[in-house]
Chains A and B, each alone.
Chain A
């Protein structure tokens, strides 16, 4: 049976892997190859590198990191953050990434997903969706039929700063149809709270699309990780801080999941 995946996420900026404390203090987390190798030894099923560099000048600094990790650690590597064009996909794949994750650029130009997946295959195109539950006011916004859109979640862009007005479920279906091979779903309401995934959101998206869904945002305990799969219906769970700060290892997470009857690669 296909195993559910555990994916540690590493933040990268200025060519370094860093760990952030509430996005304020960035501390050097060490050598990227060493970190990647350690997660690999613990049984990580994939690794995601998120480039949090704000400027395009700094962006290319992730390429040597991906190159060195890819030459030493032989599990799938995803790169997200600042991926905008088909040319970006090519450069990252050439550096050794297996998948590239689009976010704001897909919202600005949805065709880039069709183009990139047409050229390199949907297996390497991930679309990251930052979702936030609609406010009472946002529920009153009229849809194309003139009806209030009602409860649900909206897609946010630009690192969660801008409400696009797009409905998450519609957007998820649209992206899958255009060739996204996987969706990385982050709940902005839950992100950083350590109170667990937004399970209702995860379940709703997972049931809406036929491509795999990675749940992200809000993990504080091992139970949260397992719930993302058993209750949220996610195919994979992604977490950053609980692994970086050593709260739990990937191995402990998998052990716990196995005890809960979840198929994991041990």
Chain B
């Protein structure tokens, strides 16, 4: 099959980029998409869609994005084509993170804050652990029509999370998926051609692959 479109996974040294790339490749099986892992600005420029992974400390991710020369291509992609941010790749789209007091890309209004759950107990009496590590349900805000990226994915599906910081949006209309850990928070956010998740679709088995597959056909 001839590959007619390119999905670029931005390689700026983030820890989860191979996993993201492999899962995206799996999602693109039997499609006319070519998934590339790249740190070539021109490839990102020419790609039809872009995934921005991210894992580890926010300040390191921002610095590596800048030093790798990927910042400008990512900003141009975010201005013009579908872009999917994952984990710290989602957090970077917001304005600022408490983690290392780091200014971020400011593409979606909001702050990244640390969970304050020390000493609090979960519903079953066990204490809240940080990071939130494991599978949690993602529900859609009922106040708005469902975001197109959820096509074919049941509401309340389980996704894999690993994080100590979460997004606090300025404008709640950018929240397209919520989960609860101590309190409900936005774990899937979207604005125009941008979509991003705090959880890891690449580690969330079938429903994660489904989300990447939807990204290939999403028309924002």
Query: Please, how many angstroms separate the alpha-carbon atoms of A52 and B136 in the complex?
Result: 32
| Number of inter-chain CB pairs below 8 Å | 104
Query: Please, how many angstroms separate the alpha-carbon atoms of A189 and B162 in the complex?
Result: 31
A98 & B133 in contact (Cβ 8 Å cutoff): no
Contacts of B209 in A (CB 8 A): 74
The stretch from A117-125, A149-157, A191-199 touching chain B is A117-125
Interface size on B, residues (CB 8 A): 39
A75 & B160 in contact (Cβ 8 Å cutoff): yes
Q: Is A14 an interface residue when CB atoms closer than 8 A count as contact?
A: no
B57 & A5 in contact (Cβ 8 Å cutoff): no
What mask results when residues 124 to 150 of chain B are scored 1 for a CB within 8 Å of chain A, else 0?
101101111111110000000000000
A74 & B204 in contact (Cβ 8 Å cutoff): yes
What mask results when residues 83 to 126 of chain B are scored 1 for a CB within 8 Å of chain A, else 0?
00000000000000000000000000000000000100011101
Q: Is B181 an interface residue when CB atoms closer than 8 A count as contact?
A: yes
Contacts of A70 in B (CB 8 A): 18-19, 22
* Chain A residues within CB distance 8 Å of chain B: 1-5, 40, 45, 70-72, 74-76, 93-94, 96, 98, 120-124, 181-182, 206-207, 210-213, 229-230, 233, 235-236, 261-263, 265
Q: Main SS of chain B's interface residues? A: mixed
Query: Please, how many angstroms separate the alpha-carbon atoms of A212 and B126 in the complex?
Result: 11
Shortest Cβ gap from A111 to chain B (Å)? 18
B133 & A212 in contact (Cβ 8 Å cutoff): yes
- Name 30 A/B residue pairs within 8 A (Cβ), A-sorted: A1-B123, A1-B136, A1-B137, A2-B132, A2-B134, A3-B135, A70-B19, A71-B22, A71-B25, A74-B26, A74-B202, A74-B208, A76-B162, A93-B15, A121-B15, A121-B55, A121-B56, A123-B55, A123-B162, A124-B55, A206-B126, A207-B127, A210-B118, A211-B131, A212-B129, A212-B134, A213-B129, A233-B127, A236-B134, A265-B135
A74 & B126 in contact (Cβ 8 Å cutoff): no
Contacts of B153 in A (CB 8 A): none
Query: Please, how many angstroms separate the alpha-carbon atoms of A181 and B136 in the complex?
Result: 18
Contact of A235 among B25, B26, B134, B202 (CB under 8 A): B134
B133 & A235 in contact (Cβ 8 Å cutoff): yes
Query: Please, how many angstroms separate the alpha-carbon atoms of A207 and B119 in the complex?
Result: 10
Query: Please, how many angstroms separate the alpha-carbon atoms of A134 and B202 in the complex?
Result: 43
Q: Is B205 an interface residue when CB atoms closer than 8 A count as contact?
A: yes
Contacts of A3 in B (CB 8 A): 134-136, 158
Shortest Cβ gap from B78 to chain A (Å)? 24
Shortest Cβ gap from B211 to chain A (Å)? 11
Shortest Cβ gap from A66 to chain B (Å)? 11
Query: Please, how many angstroms separate the alpha-carbon atoms of A157 and B162 in the complex?
Result: 28
Contacts of A236 in B (CB 8 A): 134
